[in-house]
Amino acid sequence: MSYSNVEGSIPVVVAGALGAMGSQVIKTIIGASDCHLMGAIDIVEDKQGLDIGLELGLGHQGVTITNDLEGCLCQVSQVTRNSNHAVLIDFTHPQVVYKHTRTAIAYGIHPVIGTTGMTKENLLELIEFSRKAGVGGALIPNFSIGIILLQQAAAAAARFYDFVELTELHHNLKADAPSGTCIKTAELIEELDKSFNQPKIEEYESLLGCRGGRRESGIRIHSVRLPGLVAHQEVLFGSPGETYTLRHDTVDRSAYMPGLMLAVRKVRRLESLVYGLERLL
């Protein structure tokens, strides 16, 4: 950890620093002239106390890896609380994302959360908690600009179609299903408050689950996990005589960095936790 405060530059702590996303984030933060890295959190046992920059081949940064998220946020908040509030970027695991977000808010540190898998109940509770605490934050299921465009197109098309199925395809190291992005796409389509996919005949599955998961609105979601994939999503609308397909492919995690930096730069001006990158554009 490094607890120096740099005037005018955004202090950033990264949780999940050694992961697929976290390691790219560290590189991006180190390269950003308006940010400085103050903490690197990860639980990988044999990396505790090592310099994150040296571990990632980015040169010595004077920031050591720790698994003590609360201790790190507590110390960072003491250094930064009077003027230049810090940001926590989290790409860890669905099981800890609620606790990490709540801890950041409690210490007055602005959470920018990429980790997916949080329940709707927990999200709503955190929005209320952040509003009471007056701490802005962002929970963003997908930082890519292209996926936001796909979601907007899907929400617009939903007016004209009564049948829609979503498929998300990811690498096989992903813990949660369906993806946070796919849930958000479904939620945006559901803003019209209509039901989809009313069956025309009596259906049955001879292989349980082969028709995918069904949301209350009737929208079905299919999750595919394969090595070789990164992150992909299809929205298929159908009506008699035609189909309309939207597809987005993330082929490299660098796609997430512009949206992430946008959130880091805006989050300290928010009054509570917002959900979705479209809220920041």
Ligand X SMILES: O=C(O)C1=N[C@H](C(=O)O)C[C@H](O)C1
Ligand Y SMILES: NC(=O)C1=CN([C@@H]2O[C@H](COP(=O)(O)OP(=O)(O)OC[C@H]3O[C@@H](n4cnc5c(N)ncnc54)[C@H](OP(=O)(O)O)[C@@H]3O)[C@@H](O)[C@H]2O)C=CC1
Counting contacts by CB under 6 A, is residue 141 touching ligand X? yes
CA torsion, ordered 12, 16, 20, 23, to nearest 10 deg? 40
Residue 174 annotated as catalytic: yes
Counting contacts by CB under 6 A, is residue 180 touching ligand X? yes
Counting contacts by CB under 6 A, is residue 24 touching ligand X? no
Q: How many residues bind ligand X (CB under 6 A)?
A: 9
Tokens 């995918």, residue located: 212
The distance of closest approach from Cβ of residue 22 to ligand Y in the complex, given in angstroms and rounded to an integer, is 6
Counting contacts by CB under 6 A, is residue 44 touching ligand Y? yes
The distance of closest approach from Cβ of residue 94 to ligand Y in the complex, given in angstroms and rounded to an integer, is 6
Select from ligand X, ligand Y, none the partner in contact with residue 43, using the beta carbon and a kind-dependent cut-off of 5 to 8 Å. Answer: ligand Y
Q: Which stretch binds ligand Y (CB under 6 A): 80-88, 120-128, 135-143, 198-206?
A: 135-143
Q: Which stretch binds ligand Y (CB under 6 A): 16-24, 54-62, 212-220, 235-243?
A: 16-24
Select from ligand X, ligand Y, none the partner in contact with residue 170, using the beta carbon and a kind-dependent cut-off of 5 to 8 Å. Answer: ligand X
Which one among 92, 130, 167, 217 touches ligand Y, defined by CB under 6 A? 92
Counting contacts by CB under 6 A, is residue 54 touching ligand Y? no
Which one among 2, 66, 115, 233 touches ligand Y, defined by CB under 6 A? 115
The distance of closest approach from Cβ of residue 215 to ligand X in the complex, given in angstroms and rounded to an integer, is 16
Q: How far is CA 232 from CA 49, 58, 108, 124, 146, in A?
A: 36, 29, 35, 27, 11
- Residues marked as catalytic: 170, 174
